[in-house]
């Protein structure tokens, strides 16, 4: 699934702002202090929730029609869109911190020569794995 649209319920929070839930995605919850922030947070929550379902190879629920969602007074339904190819690309290129061990003398010489350890490791791994970028 490349694009999905799920209804989100925006509920006014007692302390101000909005609490956002997705009726079709239990556990997918967010919040925002302003309507704009709440919209952005809802989109991010939806994207990460769907990405994690895909990554865990879990079934992705079918979204309900927004007009079928009943809400309490003061709440409203907003359709939220996620374009998953962008999310997948971002997650695949996300930096991952690794801990490694090298001799102190090599570390000292490398730092003295202003070596970028991450860059060297990436180049070496691509070479070792025969990956051409």
Q: Which residue has the tokens 């079709």?
A: 24
Average pLDDT per consecutive 10 residues, the chain (133 residues; last block may be shorter)? 95 92 97 97 98 96 95 95 94 89 95 94 93 84
- Residues with Cβ within 8 Å of residue 5, at least 6 apart in sequence: 63, 79, 80, 81, 82
Please say whether the beta carbons of 21 and 11 come within 8 A.
Answer: yes
Domains in the chain: ranges and CATH: 3-92 (3.30.160.250), 95-133 (no CATH)
pTM of this prediction exceeds 0.85: no
Distances (CA, A) of 121 to 117, 127, 128, 132: 6, 10, 10, 15
Please say whether the beta carbons of 119 and 44 come within 8 A.
Answer: no
């Amino acid at each position: 699934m490349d694009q999905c649209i799920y209804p989100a319920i925006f509920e006014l929070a007692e302390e101000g702002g909005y609490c956002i839930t997705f009726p079709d995605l239990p556990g997918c919850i967010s919040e925002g202090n302003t309507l704009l922030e709440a919209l952005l947070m809802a989109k991010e929550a939806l994207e990460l929730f769907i990405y994690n379902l895909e990554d865990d190879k879990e079934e992705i629920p079918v979204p309900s029609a927004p007009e079928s969602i009943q809400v309490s007074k003061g709440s409203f339904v907003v359709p939220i869109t996620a374009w998953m190819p962008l999310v997948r690309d971002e997650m695949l290129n996300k930096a991952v911190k690794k801990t490694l061990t090298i001799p102190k003398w090599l570390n000292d010489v490398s730092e003295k020569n202003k070596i970028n350890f991450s860059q060297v490791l990436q180049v070496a791994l691509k070479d070792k794995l025969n990956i051409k970028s």
